[in-house]
């Protein structure tokens, strides 16, 4: 049974990678958690089971992050389940790589729909659903600061996300709601490692940051925990580059 006196958080993309780590970390911080997933239900239910096993409270909810009606339903389900919403963390995203040529236009459209339109939809629903004093955290990427070939669509989507963060923070003036982005560098998730050779990872990407190691999802989740907690209450309209010096 959920403790309705606890704060509640919605974590999109919560079934794997950074989203999974964020959902688990916020549950440890005594949040009731909605674990959003897009396609496969089993990984999301496993996250819920893991959270419940250590005494936390979580529910898995499916939604298409690119569809306005689905995102609205996701928020409605969150509020109906836990009676309140105190934090929204948008981790959902995709990372197809391709050069800026006509053949990659379908991938460009897909990454913009998920990463940028999806972020806009989540933010727009959070505006009316969040309690005053709430927190919004979305994900950018430190790749925005590096002009790597084949990252064009991904970088474009995340640069747009950073712009939305600053605007929404000002639009929410007076409500005590903070809006921030976390921008990881290379993190050892399935999303980031897909399609890359061990040579690319070990000889190129890892060595670009002074710390010379891949980030861990749990470390990024700690940054999110700070931003949604009391200590992060004065951080607003910022992009936190949690990247080991990558950017």
Q: Active-site positions? A: 154
Distance CA 80, CA 72 (A): 12
* Token reading at 68: 């306005």
In the sheet that holds 239-240, the strands lie side by side as 57-62, 32-37, 8-12, 87-90, 135-139, 178-182, 239-240
| Residue count of the chain | 247
DSSP state of 114: I
SS3 (DSSP) at 220? helix
Distance, in Å, from the CA atom of 219 to the CA atom of 17, rounded to the nearest integer, reads 12
Quick one: which H or E segment has residue 61? strand 57-62
Degrees (nearest 5) of the Cα angle 124, 169, 117? 35
């Amino acid at each position: 049974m959920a403790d309705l006196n606890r704060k509640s958080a919605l974590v999109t993309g919560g079934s794997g990678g950074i989203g999974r780590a964020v959902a688990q970390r916020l549950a440890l911080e005594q949040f009731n958690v909605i674990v959003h997933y897009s396609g496969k239900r089993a990984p999301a239910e496993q996250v819920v089971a893991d959270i419940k096993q250590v005494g936390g409270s979580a529910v898995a909810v499916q939604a298409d992050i690119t569809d306005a009606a689905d995102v609205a339903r996701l928020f409605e389900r969150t509020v109906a389940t836990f009676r309140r919403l105190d934090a929204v963390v948008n981790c959902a995203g995709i990372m197809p790589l391709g050069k800026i040529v006509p053949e990659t236009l379908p991938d460009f459209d897909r990454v913009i729909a998920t990463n940028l339109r999806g972020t806009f939809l989540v933010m727009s629903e959070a505006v009316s659903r969040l309690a005053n004093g709430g927190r919004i955290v979305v994900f950018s990427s430190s790749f925005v600061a590096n002009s790597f070939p084949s990252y064009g669509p991904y970088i474009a989507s995340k640069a747009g996300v950073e712009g939305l963060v600053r605007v929404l923070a000002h639009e929410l003036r007076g409500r005590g709601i903070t809006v921030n982005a976390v921008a990881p560098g290379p993190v050892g998730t399935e999303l980031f490692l897909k399609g890359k050779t061990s040579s690319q990872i070990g000889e190129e990407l890892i060595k670009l940051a002074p710390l010379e190691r891949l980030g861990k999802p749990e470390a990024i989740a700690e940054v999110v925990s700070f931003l949604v907690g009391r200590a992060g209450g004065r951080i607003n309209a910022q992009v936190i580059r949690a990247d080991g010096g990558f950017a």
